[in-house]
Amino acid sequence: MSNQRKKWSIGLLTAVLIGSVTLAGCSSGNNAENASGTASAPATTSASPSESASPSASPESAEPYELNWLKAQDISVPYDPDNDVVKQAIEQKLNIKINAEMVDVQQYKTKLNLKMSSGDIPDVVRIDFADDFQKYAPLGAFVDLTDLINEQDTPNIMREVPKEVFEQAKVNGKIYGIPYQGGPGSGYRWNLVMRQDYLDEVGATAPKTLDEYYNLLKKIKAEKPDVIPLGGYTAQIGEVKFANNSFDNIFGAFGVTPGYFNQTDGKFSSFDIDPRMKEALLFLQKMYGEGLIDKEFATIKEEQLRAKLFGGKLFSWMGWWSTPNDYDTQVEANELIKAKKLGAGEKLPDQSKLPFKYLSLNGSLVGPDGMAVAPQGAPFGQITAISAKTKDPKRVLAIIEESLSLENQMLTVWGIEGEDYLIEGDKMTVVTDLLDPKTRLDKNGKFRSIQSYTFAPGLNGWPRYLESLPLRAAEPLDVAINNPFQITDAANYLESPTKIAKLVELNTMRDSTFTQIIMGADIGKFDEFVEKWKSQGGTQILSELEASFKKKAGL
């Protein structure tokens, strides 16, 4: 460590120690008040050490707590935080004053890292877990929350984040932040999408098993020879998309998913080298040879896949949850234009609240054993942490706890009831025409930045999230995230320097090999790939993951 780094670390550690003294001096306070999320008063140093583990309550007459906030903002869109009516409502409700420093959303991470390096840390920090948080937390940048977060004193936080997730989020055995993921948890986000009208035309129903799907694709090819049964596409940025998503349902029915690690009794392996992967590739090779898979799957981009769909030349593909909404409308428009019922320059009215007319959404296909896997994202990707330099860390934690009551989450996520959203009976509706599209101001000349000042919504998802979406957005997301076969990557939150250094290279080798096999190369290439994967870093990665797993488990 350089002398400069040492000085910075010592300074931060000193700040943490000062914060610890402050925390230790706070009374446990009234637990009923804590449960309701009342913010704490500035701490004193008169209490005993045994009273140090609870956010304390503060009188309502306390001065608003000032929070320095680094706010990611699209600078091309007009916005003034001092004229934001939702921000003002949050400040009043939580008895705080947010000093918002604007930074372009594309520069947020760079700006935050500069602040972290200089010690100018915002009071509440939203930071990527995998690299930045794990780097700065051991240096004393954030308040140690290990003894402060518990069922009795922070019930709202514990409701949002399960104990096992906090265990995953620990750094050197301590809790330095609250795991965060916006939206409804970290669920799977892909669906097998098919043309429902083509299903109807060939007299078929949506398949549930891999065999049913395979036979359906053969039927489509026989009865609609100008239609591609299954399409795929490459990623926009440097990855072969099929390796992780375009053929999810095929891989998943064999119990594997490319790119994920698995562990049994502390022993790690990779699905990339699993013998079942070889079986899946042989099946895909068979499908490709029979003309059931688009010959261009490894070279075209998503926009080219869309063109095939909109032109009536594609039956099925793996789709991101949000894409069917617009796709269904575009397919309908094209069909009406072909039937001369809609002019070429005309557009359909908003269809987002209507049922799908042309697309069918489907979950995982199961294999012969009735099982499948669907690769969901990591349980969390970011952490909300409290700066070690904030003047009263315990009160900041109490503010976060209060912000996670259901009532306050509705405010921080959806805005002001009766203005930004409506509740009619049991139904919530987001008001979408409140702002002028050019000025971004409401009729009273105010900005309304909902979802901009959320503290730590946790993993259970923003309240009423699915309900807030129009039907054509809610339905595919609901199908995707409620897929019962979701699995997570066993390597999540484990340390492996070799994985960081070598995984891109190994993945590139995998994608190339798998593509060649699917397109007809000798299956022996898989065995060659397995040996190269192991010798070129894979075995070392597995060893490091196992060691990290044991360390985290205290073994």
How does pLDDT run along the chain (555 residues), one tens digit per residue? 433 333 333 333 333 323 332 222 232 232 222 222 323 333 332 232 233 334 444 445 589 999 999 999 988 899 999 999 999 999 999 999 999 999 998 899 999 999 999 999 999 999 988 778 988 998 999 999 999 999 999 999 999 898 888 988 988 889 999 998 766 667 788 999 999 999 999 999 999 999 999 999 999 999 999 999 999 998 754 456 666 689 999 999 999 999 999 999 999 999 999 999 999 999 999 999 999 999 999 999 888 999 999 999 999 999 989 889 889 999 999 999 999 999 988 889 989 889 999 999 999 999 999 999 999 888 888 899 999 999 999 999 999 999 999 999 999 999 999 999 999 998 898 998 899 989 999 999 999 999 999 988 777 778 998 888 889 999 999 999 899 999 999 999 888 989 988 998 999 999 999 999 999 999 999 999 999 999 999 999 999 999 999 887 777
Asked if residues 389 and 139 have their Cβ atoms less than 8 Å apart, the reply is: no
pLDDT attached to residue 51: 34
Tell me whether residue 370 is exposed, middle or buried, using C-beta atoms within 10 angstroms of its C-beta: 0 to 12, 13 to 18, 19 or more.
exposed
Q: How far apart are CA 449 and CA 324, in angstroms?
A: 27
Q: In 3D, which of 512, 392, 488 has the Cα closest to residue 165?
A: 488
Q: How far apart are CA 318 and CA 246, in angstroms?
A: 5
Q: In 3D, which of 528, 540, 535 has the Cα closest to residue 499?
A: 540
Asked if residues 435 and 448 have their Cβ atoms less than 8 Å apart, the reply is: yes
| 228 Cα distance to chain centroid | 31
pLDDT attached to residue 134: 84
65-185+380-462 is a CATH 1.10.3720.10 domain: no
Phi and psi torsions of 386, nearest 5°: -105, 125
pLDDT attached to residue 80: 96
pLDDT attached to residue 71: 94
Q: How far apart are CA 328 and CA 358, in angstroms?
A: 6
Asked if residues 374 and 364 have their Cβ atoms less than 8 Å apart, the reply is: yes
Q: What count of other Cβ atoms lies within 10 Å of the Cβ of residue 415?
A: 23
Domain boundaries, the chain: 65-185+380-462, 191-375+487-553
Q: In 3D, which of 358, 369, 412, 467 has the Cα closest to residue 91?
A: 412
SS3 477: helix
Asked if residues 273 and 534 have their Cβ atoms less than 8 Å apart, the reply is: yes
Asked if residues 145 and 171 have their Cβ atoms less than 8 Å apart, the reply is: no
User: CATH topology of 65-185+380-462 equal to that of 191-375+487-553?
Assistant: yes
pLDDT attached to residue 331: 96
Give the architecture-level CATH label for domain 191-375+487-553.
3-Layer(aba) Sandwich (3.40)
Half-sphere exposure at residue 500, Cβ-oriented, CA atoms within 13 angstroms: 8
Q: How far apart are CA 49 and CA 311, in angstroms?
A: 71
Q: Which two tokens stand for residue 244?
A: 């992780």
| 443 Cα distance to chain centroid | 34
Q: What does the angle CA 521 – CA 524 – CA 526 come to, to the nearest 5 degrees?
A: 90
Q: What count of other Cβ atoms lies within 10 Å of the Cβ of residue 279?
A: 16
Strand segments, DSSP code E, in 84-218 are: 96-104, 124-128, 178-180, 190-195
Q: How far apart are CA 144 and CA 165, in angstroms?
A: 16
pLDDT attached to residue 58: 46
pLDDT attached to residue 460: 74
Q: What count of other Cβ atoms lies within 10 Å of the Cβ of residue 346?
A: 10
pLDDT attached to residue 286: 98
DSSP string, 182-208: -SSTT---EEEEEEHHHHHHTT-----
Length of the chain measured in residues: 555
Q: How far apart are CA 469 and CA 450, in angstroms?
A: 15
